[in-house]
Amino acid sequence: MSSRRVFVGAAGAAATHLMARRAAGANDKIRVAILGVNGRGKDHMQGIQSQPDAEVVAFCDPDLGVAEKSAALFEKRYGKKVEIIQDFRKALERKDIDAVTVATPNHWHSLATIWACQAGKDVYVEKPGSHNVWEGRKMVEAAHKYNRIVQHGVQLRSSEAIREAVDHLRKGVIGNVYMSRGLVFRWRPSIGKKGVEPVPPNLDYDLWTGPAQMEPFSRRIVHYNWHWTWNYGNGDVGNQGIHETDMCMWGLGVDTLPTKITAMGGKFLFDDDKITPEVLTTLYHYPEQKKLIQFEVRPWHTNDEGGATVGNIFYGSEGYMVIKGYDTYETFLGQKKEKGPGRKAGGDHYANWIKAIRSRKTEDQNGPVETAHLSSALAHLGNISYRLSRVLTFDPANEKFVGDAEADKMLTREYRKPYVVPEKV
């Protein structure tokens, strides 16, 4: 494993190389490696490859079987080969790689981003930006220290319609906006019960486990089901839900974490290997701003709300607004719920990232690193309240709980060496 000093030293060299290479020709493409190609990484492949001034050059995945399958799909679709690198740390050392996208499991997101920043790479990181509150703040510190463009994968921030919707909220179309709700009603069936198995020969399980605590290999973990256990994932509020926690904060106009959090839920449907709650309701209170966020996770058979099953509802003194998915909003005004402004229009979040890489201006970003930390931390705070079964009081300025050492311990984790998020990035 390369030391932190190697990564830090590489940052200046990589940045110098990047500037020199681009100075040679304005049309030089930004060369991107994708870290994790089993799930969201496939969308990264398509999203980056569709950019006229960027190209995918490497797939990094601890499972060589997954990497080879994705590489074959890439070659069939785009008529070119992509390099396979099992250990992404080798990609970070490469001067001919300008940027990385992170589509690993949640427990790797922050550390991979921090290491990439130290190595002088720009980063597109999937939601949630962090697996816990503390490491999310370290990710923000790394992005700023190394002057990296770190984009959070909340695509709705680049939707023309959703940006218009937020503008309407700011202008008072539904009056004084005092409450937002996040909805995640996804079809989540039982995952059954999976026993312990030998590690598949193509998988570097030590690298896959990374910062998490080592557990015996099981299909209840690898590849997708890690979402439903605390060692690697954060439940559905920390999965699909990050799009909606981000939207709640963005639409309400709050840029800090709440001071009061309470949550209740549990497993009511399936006797399976999931550990995280199937059903979860969380309240986040901002008493000084007189604002409230309510977040709901429901699986399986359920009704929609306001026409949305995944999305947000904003409540104001003059009406309400419904955000559906990533690209649609509707407003309903007055007691008679008369239709107000509404629109459906998407956007290209990858193009926005590439634009910011070119300009080196974080203000060009629609999903800057701060959104990765705050939207993820909101979900983490709700999960901590659920796991401790009590109302929590939080100090957003210091990002610590008030007089609650037990809750404070859950703001971070015990990292497994050498995969440790450093105190000083």
Strand ranges in 15-80 using DSSP code E only, listed in sequence order: 30-35, 54-60
pLDDT band at 10 (very low <50, low <70, confident <90, very high): very low
Q: Please determine, for residue 180, whether its predicted confidence score (pLDDT) is greater than 90.
A: yes
What would the pLDDT profile of 233-275 be if each residue is shown by its tens digit?
Answer: 999 999 999 999 999 999 999 999 999 999 999 999 999 999 9
Element containing residue 260 per DSSP (H, E): strand 260-266
Residue given tokens 């996040």 in the structure block = 182
Integer Cα distance of 287 and 136 in angstroms:
24
Question: Which residues face 263 on adjacent strands?
Answer: 282
pLDDT band at 144 (very low <50, low <70, confident <90, very high): very high
Q: Please determine, for residue 23, whether its predicted confidence score (pLDDT) is greater than 80.
A: no
With CA atoms as reference, report the closest residue to 367 among 140, 151, 111: 151
Q: At what angle do helices 109-118 and 4-23 cross, to 10 degrees?
A: 60
Q: What angle do CA 119, 123, 126 make, to 5 degrees?
A: 135
CB neighbour class for 363 (10 Å; exposed up to 12, middle 13-18, buried from 19): exposed
Q: Please determine, for residue 111, whether its predicted confidence score (pLDDT) is greater than 60.
A: yes
The per-residue pLDDT for 14 is 46
Domain boundaries, the chain: 4-156+350-368, 159-192+206-345+378-402
pLDDT band at 9 (very low <50, low <70, confident <90, very high): very low
What integer best gives the mean pLDDT of the chain? Answer: 94
Please give the single-letter amino acid code of residue 350.
Answer: Y
Beta strands 99-102 and 83-85, pairing class: unpaired
**Domain 159-192+206-345+378-402 adopts which CATH fold?**
Dihydrodipicolinate Reductase; domain 2 (3.30.360)
The CA distances from residue 330 to 265, 333, 366, in Å, are: 30, 10, 22
pLDDT band at 3 (very low <50, low <70, confident <90, very high): very low
What would the pLDDT profile of 371-425 be if each residue is shown by its tens digit?
Answer: 999 999 999 999 999 999 999 999 999 999 999 999 999 999 999 999 999 999 9
The per-residue pLDDT for 237 is 98
Integer Cα distance of 196 and 191 in angstroms:
15
What would the pLDDT profile of 183-217 be if each residue is shown by its tens digit?
Answer: 999 999 999 999 999 999 999 999 999 999 999 99
Token reading at 367: 């999903």
pLDDT band at 305 (very low <50, low <70, confident <90, very high): very high
Token reading at 337: 């719920």
Q: Please determine, for residue 16, whether its predicted confidence score (pLDDT) is greater than 90.
A: no
Q: Which CATH number fits domain 4-156+350-368: 3.40.50.850, 3.30.420.40, 3.40.50.720, 3.40.50.460?
A: 3.40.50.720
Residue given tokens 């079809």 in the structure block = 187
pTM for this prediction:
0.94
The per-residue pLDDT for 353 is 98
Per-residue burial over 321-349, b if 16 or more Cβ lie within 10 Å, else e, is bbbbbbbbbbbbbeeeeeebebeeebbbb
% the chain with pLDDT above 90: 93
Supply the DSSP symbol for 198. Answer: P
The CA distances from residue 38 to 223, 251, 254, 306, in Å, are: 8, 32, 34, 33
